Structure 1
């Protein structure tokens, strides 16, 4: 039965999670399934390890884009699935296996039951890092088929199956990675005066970083500066010559992101002077905020309220990051949360989304496309 097909596809994809721009097996699997469909109105391109697919409509007045991300995470799976990851150290712990299976289900339906408008489906690599949306958006392959509007979903473990959680305007935050390296002078623990201790410098800097949100950001705005990892030193009786701080920055506006980075740079310069050390800052991957087009999102919400399988929930913005924001900066559209009812959350080694959400989402999206693509 077709109802079970996309659950099986999800399980197949769950077994082969691959990191950003390494999705070779994933791309091959997707291409093989796509090749099994009627090719009459379909064109397919590859971009690095991603795929861009266009389906011609019956009487197109616009092109509708739909994006699904395809990479996994560097996590050791701890579920009891009989179809666990076969790639040790990698797991689809953010639901991208769901995203791909749902997209293939929608494609299958649109191939067999055409709508008026053209469709472009994007299977995007490297959402978890280093970020595939921005370079894909700028590619010649994408620009040739650039849609007039675009949308995407993300699974949400905290909502029941059937929930479509969305809001107009800001949905996801601006995000940036943060890596700070400090270099001083190592030496014997018994002679600290002959060294420049980077454990002490790093600890001082971490405390200073915590003042940025409380003293440099408007209290009516929101920001997060989290240090998740500190490394330094070699053994207990050697003063550390090097230390490294790793963290993340989240803000609800691009202006606040710039302000946070300015303060980080000022504090790091102060540590250089105060501790007579050398420092470098690397912001790693940066994702632009996901901002839902107000008109298109309001239309989606109206459609959802009348849908017989979906339940609309108007959610709050979240400090999560998504590089789909780069696409929404250039193309009107939206992202919504799909409820999958898992006791364990995103990026957790025991994430187990309810597979009943797969076919529900396929039906919901197909109904929405008929609603959009068959109207004047």
Structure 2
């Protein structure tokens, strides 16, 4: 059977699998039923697997009939703490949990790609690893580092690793890939400002934490506007503010929570340094007590140029010559970055837009939907990528 025919044979199943997973989402670190389902699917397909990585992670192992290199394909399996707001017949059945980032599709496509590759073992010169990773949404901890520390690659070390992510900004049949940075570093912080409260009519008797917070927010924004080279990328966002009691009480405490996003390591370190310097200055100038909880999150996701170029050529083979348009990198964070710090490889986006039929909502939105027509395309690309990578590794060995 041809690749086209093999993918056609799993087309209905990949959609069915995705819908099952969408209906039963599990949060980071809780993916026990999802993990059991993956194991069941691999068993039914005759694919050997190992477990025990980051609690719920699974490693499928497809060894070709001929010796060769090792290629890893990764899918993340966790959901988000979001209440789904959609009219889908298979919408989340679990209150407050939703696959709003497409990890259900990632998992379904990797299972299906594994089934196709298992049927092609006689053609494979080497090994394909199916990496089902938990806790991708649990930044800054994540699941990729824990999987590696638990020995996921102790027996089979990948020569190259690939990650595929659904992307609502691209139409079905299109793929986004870049030769270097494609996703950003994602740090997070919590700032607690402690002043002193009092009556609204007597501000001179207090130290208004809201006034301090407003000054701090304004000054922090100058890091991007005045300290960062305009040709570099950096974002500092305050996403949450809590403070105060009522209209006539001066607040004694305010908390700010936010995130810092960058691409280049030196820019990240500069922003982080200025962040702490500004906070220390505001603390002294207002005579307040400011406490900072700063977490270094996922590093930037940086592709290996030669393997991102292979993604491009593989996509053009199975999706068409015009399937890889020019794209810009995203400052969204991605736990796949830690795999790429240790192994060569590439992360790419699979177009899943529904714009032709309805309004497209972004990833992490309660209304998020993806176009299921993209799922067989994603399976086809993953399989072709595995085949082309093994061929390239064989060529290099020769």
Cα distance in 1, alignment partners of residues 180 and 99 from structure 2: 28
Stretch of structure 1 that moved more, 214-223 or 255-264:
214-223
Q: Does 1:136 align with 2:144?
A: no
Contact 1:56 1:118 in 2 (8 A): yes
Cα distance in 1, alignment partners of residues 244 and 153 from structure 2: 47
- TM-score by length of structure 2 reads 0.90
Q: How many angstroms does 1:5 deviate by?
A: 0.8
Cα distance in 2, alignment partners of residues 327 and 204 from structure 1: 40
CA shift digits 1:312-350 (9 cap, x unpaired): 223222211111111111100001110001311111111
Q: Does 1:122 align with 2:131?
A: yes
Contact 1:19 1:72 in 2 (8 A): yes
Q: How many angstroms does 1:285 deviate by?
A: 5.5
Residue of structure 2 in register with 1:10 after alignment: 18
1:92 to 93, 99, 116: 99
1:127-276 equivalent positions in 2, closer than 5 A: 127-130=136-139, 131-276=142-287
Residue of structure 1 in register with 2:41 after alignment: 33
Residue of structure 1 in register with 2:289 after alignment: 278
Secondary structure in 2 aligned to 1:352?
Answer: coil
1:63-78 equivalent positions in 2, closer than 5 A: 63-78=70-85
Q: Does 1:313 align with 2:325?
A: yes
Gaps of 5+ in 1: none
Contact 2:78 2:99 in 1 (8 A): yes
* Runs (4+) off by over 6 Å: none
2:344 to 332, 356, 362: 332
Residue of structure 2 in register with 1:44 after alignment: 50
Q: How many angstroms does 1:245 deviate by?
A: 0.7
Task: Tell me how many residue pairs correspond in the alignment.
Answer: 374
Cα distance in 2, alignment partners of residues 7 and 62 from structure 1: 31
Contact 1:46 1:52 in 2 (8 A): no
Distance of aligned partners of 1:53 and 1:308 in 2 relative to their CA distance in 1, 3 Å threshold: closer
1:323 to 332, 335, 342: 335
Cα distance in 2, alignment partners of residues 126 and 243 from structure 1: 30
Residue of structure 2 in register with 1:359 after alignment: 376
Secondary structure in 2 aligned to 1:284?
Answer: strand
CA shift digits 1:138-190 (9 cap, x unpaired): 33233443311100111111111110111111111111112111112223333
Distance of aligned partners of 1:198 and 1:143 in 2 relative to their CA distance in 1, 3 Å threshold: farther
Distance of aligned partners of 1:83 and 1:251 in 2 relative to their CA distance in 1, 3 Å threshold: same
Secondary structure in 2 aligned to 1:140?
Answer: coil
Distance of aligned partners of 1:110 and 1:309 in 2 relative to their CA distance in 1, 3 Å threshold: same
Stretch of structure 1 that moved more, 67-76 or 50-59:
50-59
- TM-score by length of structure 1 reads 0.95
Stretch of structure 1 that moved more, 77-86 or 281-290:
281-290
Secondary structure in 1 aligned to 2:91?
Answer: coil
Cα distance in 2, alignment partners of residues 323 and 273 from structure 1: 37
Distance of aligned partners of 1:13 and 1:124 in 2 relative to their CA distance in 1, 3 Å threshold: same
Q: How many angstroms does 1:276 deviate by?
A: 1.6
Cα distance in 2, alignment partners of residues 245 and 174 from structure 1: 20
Cα distance in 2, alignment partners of residues 9 and 303 from structure 1: 25
Cα distance in 1, alignment partners of residues 38 and 15 from structure 2: 14
Stretch of structure 1 that moved more, 260-269 or 26-35:
26-35
Distance of aligned partners of 1:160 and 1:326 in 2 relative to their CA distance in 1, 3 Å threshold: same
Cα distance in 1, alignment partners of residues 157 and 252 from structure 2: 51
Cα distance in 1, alignment partners of residues 81 and 202 from structure 2: 41
Q: How many angstroms does 1:249 deviate by?
A: 0.7
Contact 1:52 1:142 in 2 (8 A): no
Cα distance in 1, alignment partners of residues 317 and 384 from structure 2: 11
Cα distance in 2, alignment partners of residues 24 and 192 from structure 1: 54
Cα distance in 1, alignment partners of residues 230 and 112 from structure 2: 45
